[in-house]
Amino acid sequence: MASALQYCFLILIFGIPLHECAAVLLNGSCIPVEPCFDLSVMANIAERVSKDVTAADGEKILLRHSSFDKIRKRKNLHSCVLLKIISLFQNVLEKTKKNDIHKGEELNHHVELIHIMDQLKNCVYKTKNRCRNLYEMSNKTPSPMIWKKDMTPNQLAVLQLQKLKSAKSKLNDVHIQETVMDELKTLYLYMQGKGFRKNTRMTKEKHGVQ
């Protein structure tokens, strides 16, 4: 038992990239903890769906990573924003499903990605009423007239929510659809961070859910 604990400790200290090790031992071995969802699966399917989409011109819907990283580091902000991002992308995928160019393949990647969006919603941390407060703020607060690099995480979250809301109000606009489909290629990068739950099993055990 002592040697097994020492082994786990070394993995955690030196960051050996084998598996995430849960704080649980079974038969003297560490139990590998699987992520809530393997984002590489999403990245591969999104690439297949959007590989023939021409890069959209004009302003992007999702903030640049340098700005979004500030949101990502705040779990509650990240979670609330992620839910709106997933909702928008799912809506656009539903809108463009009839134009799916992969129907001849054995697996309909477009439809599969729609199902993945549902799974991703379950992987986002639940934040109770905090999202509602943030959403109300984004509806009432005008966009800050300062450089994004000078914005606080809250201001950037509000700005991102406003951009998502604006895009959602124009779902029938082909340009908006093309922009979303183009941004699908890097969407998985926005999911990574404190607002994305690592493991559903551990979360359920923590709250006594069977």
The 10s digit of each residue's pLDDT in 140-188 is: 988 777 888 899 999 999 999 999 999 999 999 999 999 999 999 999 9
Question: Both 120 and 166 in a single domain?
Answer: yes
CA atoms within 13 A on the CB side of 49: 35
Strand partners, 25: 30
198 located within any domain? no
**Residue 60 sits in the same domain as residue 14:** no
Same structural domain, 29 and 43: no
**pLDDT tens digit string along 64-121?**
999 999 999 999 999 999 999 999 999 999 988 865 555 555 678 888 999 999 999 9
Tell whether 122 and 146 lie within a shared domain. yes
Same domain, 148 and 54: yes
Shared domain check, 115 and 64: yes
Chain position carrying tokens 């890069």: 55
Q: CA 10, CA 1: separation in Å to the nearest integer?
A: 14
Q: What is the pLDDT of residue 65?
A: 93
Distance (Å, rounded) from C-alpha 148 to C-alpha 67? 7
Q: Specify if 203 maps to a domain.
A: no
C-beta of residue 14 within 8 angstroms of C-beta of residue 39:
no
Parent domain of 134: 39-191
With H, G, I as helix, E, B as strand and everything else as coil, classify residue 118: helix
pLDDT of residue 172: 93
Tokens for 179, please give them. Answer: 């922009």
* Pair 71, 140 in one domain: yes
In a domain, 199, yes or no: no
- Per-residue pLDDT at 198 exceeds 90: no
Tally of CB atoms within 10 A around 7 = 15
Could you tell me the pTM of the whole model?
0.77
Question: Does residue 45 share a domain with residue 29?
Answer: no
Q: In this structure, are 49 and 27 located in the same domain? A: no
* Model pLDDT, residue 53: 76
> How many domains does one find in the chain?
2
Q: Model confidence over 10-44: pLDDT tens digits? A: 333 333 333 344 444 445 556 555 678 889 999 99
The phi, psi pair for 83, rounded to 5°, reads -60, -40
Residues 54 and 137 in one domain: yes
Does residue 120 sit within a domain? yes
Residue 99 included in any domain: yes
User: Are 50 and 20 in a shared domain?
Assistant: no
Asked whether residue 65 falls in the same domain as residue 128, the answer is yes
